[in-house]
Amino acid sequence: MRYFFTLMRFISNGTIILPLVFLLAGCTVGPKYIKPTVPMTATYKEETPSSFKESDQWRPARPGDQISRGNWWEIFGDQELNKLEEQVAGSNQTLKVAEARFREARAAIRFHRASQFPTISTAPSASYVKSSDFSPNSPSKIQEASTGDFVLPFDLSYELDLWGRVRRSVAAAREETQATAADYETAKLSLEAELALDYFELRSADAQKQLLDDTVKAYTDNVQLTLNRFNRGVAPKADLAQAQTQLDTTRVQDTDVTVQRAQFEHAIAILIGKPPAEFSLATAPLNYQPPSTPIGLPSELLQRRPDIAAAERRVAEANQQIGIARAAYFPTVSLGATAGFESTHIANLLNGPNALWAVGPALAETLFDAGRRRATSESARANYDATVATYRQTSLTAFQEVEDNVAALRILENETQQQEQAVASSQESLQLFTNRYKGGVDTYLQVITAQTIELANERNAIDILRRRLDASVLLVKALGGGWDISNLPQF
């Protein structure tokens, strides 16, 4: 074995010194990566004074005034929601798929990085050869007509990365892994946001159910009032029929709300990785307001969205692929070495005279491939252009999502104030018509009309609150949920 290590020292000290010099001085062919530009504005449209007078809710974010990293849902102050959100990362099956894809990409880095080192292999063999007595070189009858052959070789092969193909392959794998890590964060954020949306939809259904329960009780009292008036001959039977119809219609609406609630409860169960039959949430109507969310500047959004980071990393990966395709035009230089022992008898296999070794470089160059390398190069450039367009489109979509939800929250805040006035007016109108009906001034039709308007306004008020909470969740998601590009793993 000492001969093998002596050979390795000889190779490292002398034979491959010159190739190593070329390796260290080797150039990396292909374009240098430059991060693509994105259409950008100084501020969001909904932030500008021309759109509306700024309030604290839309102030530019200051240092340290970002969404809490990780548990962004805590800004809503709902303990039940907090408990549910914490179960997503460990139990959701879709997220487990994204995590497995990340581990797969990370393993690819090690696979490509292995090409930066020599490959050493061995293939020991033992054979017993019997020569024919009638062969031209047959030994004499006195000598043995059979011999043994025992070989213990060690082979070394190493590609000199003169043109950067291996280095670019490692870099491409590293950038794909970072993109996959960002994909995982994007999936995680989307699932967390989906859970929050379903949760607020369910709580909105609870609020609607509570309102309709109270309304059914009030309408039941009105039916009894109308029945008493009918029995005394004060009200016609038509009033009683109208009151009963109004009650029955509201009961249908009351029952129908439970269908929506059940569906959202089932959706939440799947998001946290549980069978719907094993999960339930106690009733708890909406009882809080949307939180204040600082939105920062458009330029910051490029650092805060994991999907934008993933798209940008894939642009960098595509740039590496151009260099890899370009390296195929240059010759491949590799170093090969063999050392070991060979003997006709295993007993003296490791003796000095039985040692063997060989070393030398090899060069390979494709002289004609009918345009295969050109096609590969053009494909790599086309893929790069596609990833740049995807990156820019992802960024523009992110800007739109922020603008949409900032506008929605601003408009819905004004709508909430208007709806509160509408609810108060409808309640006052209902009270007036009810008093006039009791006094025999108006028919019950006016009461039913006022009841319908009042119920519609109260239900709409609940729905506007739900939409405001949904817009708050979507705004947090659009801002990246507290994620930052510094969270990308380094390899």
DSSP-assigned letters across all residues of 213-251 = HHHHHHHHHHHHHHHHHHHTTSS-HHHHHHHHHHHHHHH
The answer to whether residue 256 sits within a structural domain is yes
Q: How confident is the model at residue 133 (pLDDT cuts 50, 70, 90)?
A: low
Rounded to the nearest 5°, which phi and psi values hold at 234? -85, -35
Neighbours of 31 (CB within 10 A): 12
Residue 113 domain flag: no
User: CA-CA distance, 210 to 199, in Å (whole number)?
Assistant: 17
Would you say 160 and 334 are in contact if contact means Cβ atoms under 8 Å apart?
yes
**Token pair 């005394």: residue:** 232
- pLDDT at position 30, please? 87
Q: Is the pLDDT of residue 5 over 80?
A: no
Residue 83: inside a domain: yes
Beta bridge partners of 156: 120, 337
Burial class (CB in 10 A: 0-12, 13-18, 19+), 165: buried
Q: Which two tokens stand for residue 300?
A: 């910051």
Collapsing DSSP to helix, strand or coil, 142 comes out as coil
Q: What is the pLDDT of residue 450?
A: 94
CA distance 2 to 421: 95
335 and 7 Cβ atoms separated by less than 8 Å: no
- What's the structural domain count of the chain? 1
User: What is the C-alpha R_g of the chain?
Assistant: 38
> Is 60 exceeded by the pLDDT of residue 305?
yes
In a domain, 336, yes or no: no
Environment class of 337 (CB within 10 Å of its CB; exposed 0-12, middle 13-18, buried 19+)? buried
State which amino acid sits at residue 78: D
The pLDDT-based confidence of 287 (bands split at 50, 70, 90) is: confident
Give me the chain's average pLDDT, please.
86
Q: What is the pLDDT of residue 409?
A: 93
Return the SS3 of 60: coil
Q: β-strand 332-343 against 119-122: which pairing, if any?
A: unpaired
pLDDT, residue 422, reads 96
pLDDT digits (tens, 9 = 90+) for 437-478: 888 888 889 999 999 999 999 999 999 999 999 999 999 999
Q: How far apart are CA 182 and CA 316, in angstroms?
A: 14
Cβ-based neighbour number of residue 411 at 10 Å: 15
Residue range(s) defining the domain that contains residue 410: 31-91+161-330+365-487
pLDDT (mean) for 75-82: 92
Integer CA distances (angstroms), 448 to 171, 226, 419, in order: 72, 12, 21
Judged on CB neighbours under 10 Å (0-12, 13-18, 19+), 333 is buried
Q: Is residue 123 part of a domain?
A: no
Which residues, 6+ apart, have CB-to-CB distance to 474 below 8 Å? 193, 197, 401, 404, 405, 408
Tokens 């006022």 sit on residue: 450
From residue 146, how far is each of 83, 142, 317, 353 by CA, in Å?
79, 12, 59, 22
Checking if the pLDDT of 53 tops 80, the result is no
Q: Give φ, ψ of 362 to 5 degrees.
A: -140, 140
- d(CA 283, CA 259) in angstroms, rounded, equals 14
CA angle 115, 118, 122 (to 5 degrees): 120
Q: What was the pLDDT predicted at 275?
A: 95
Does 355 have pLDDT greater than 80?
yes
> What tokens does 57 get?
């809710």
CATH code, domain carrying 77: 1.20.1600.10
Q: Is residue 153 part of a domain?
A: no
- The percent of residues above 70 in pLDDT, for the chain, comes to 86
Q: CA–CA separation, 137 vs 131, rounded Å?
A: 9
For residue 12, pLDDT beyond 50: no
Residue 101's nearest CA partner among 183, 192, 186 is 183
CA distance 246 to 449: 10
Specify the higher pLDDT residue, 279 or 439: 279
**Does 149 fall in a domain?**
no
Query: What residues pair up with 170 in beta bridges, in sequence order?
Result: none
- Residue 119 clears pLDDT 70, i.e. is over it: yes
Inside any domain, residue 251: yes
Residue 94 CB coordination number (10 Å) = 15
